[in-house]
Amino acid sequence: MAEESFQAVWDAIHERHTVYRFAGKPLPEGTIERLVESAVWAPNHRLTQPWRFVVVEGAAKEELAALRGRLARERAEREGRGLDRVEAQVAEFREPAAYLYIVRQVAGDEERQREDYAACAIAAYIVQLVAHGLGLGVRWGTGLMARHPAVHQALGLDGDQEIVCFLGLGYEREGDDHRRRRRPASELTRRLDQHLEN
C-alpha cells in the first residue's frame, strides 16, 4: 500500500504543470472548498496558519478582468509601449473559471514573516496538486494583479495582508499542454557524508 501511495504522489508531482489556456467550463460544485480545505494542511512553523483565501468568480471575476485592463493600459502608457497586447491580456485573464488568491496575514518579526511566506507558497502548491488530482489545471500568477493597491482594495484586503499569488482555476484547453523540462536533481545536489570543514 505504501508503494501505491508513493506512486500516486510521484505521478501527481511529475504530471502537474502550469496551464496557460483554459476551456471555459465551470467548476463542479464544492471544488474550491475542497482545494482550500487541502491548503490549510500545509506545514507552518509554530502553527501560525498565516494564510487567508479570497475566491473570485462570476461578476467579481469580470470586474477584476476590467481592472486588469485598466492597470495594463496605464502601465503601457507610462512605459511608452503600445496598447496592442492589453485586450489579449484581459481575454487571457477571463479564461479561468475562478481565481483563488492566497493571502498572507503579515505579523511578527522578519524570521516569522519569511516562514509564513514559505508556508503560504506551500499551501498554494498543495492547491495545485489537489487540483491536478481533480482533473483541473492551474495557472500561478503574481506581478501586477498581486502587487497593485487597486487589486488589494478590490479584494477588500487589510493593510497587514499581502498577496502571495493568485491561482487561475479551470479545465485545460485540449491540446494546450506546455510542460517544461526540468534540470535533473543530480545536477543540483551536493552530498556531504564526511566531516564538515571547520
159 within domain boundaries = yes
Burial 40-64 (b: 16+ CB within 10 A, else e): eebebeeeeebbbbbbbbeeebeeb
* Average pLDDT of the segment spanning 81-96: 89
**What residues make up the domain containing 125?**
17-56+95-175
What are the tens digits of pLDDT across the range 31-68?
999 999 999 999 999 999 999 999 999 999 999 999 99
Whether residue 5 has pLDDT greater than 70: yes
The stretch 169-192 carries a mean pLDDT of 89
- Residue 48, domain member (yes or no): yes
Q: What are the cell numbers at 112?
A: 516569522
Global pTM? 0.93
What 176-184 contacts at long range (C-beta under 8 Å, 24+ apart), as own/partner pairs, is 176/19, 176/20, 176/21, 177/17, 178/17, 178/18, 178/20, 179/17, 180/17
Residue 1 confidence class, pLDDT cut points 50, 70, 90 = low
What CATH number is associated with residue 140?
Answer: 3.40.109.10
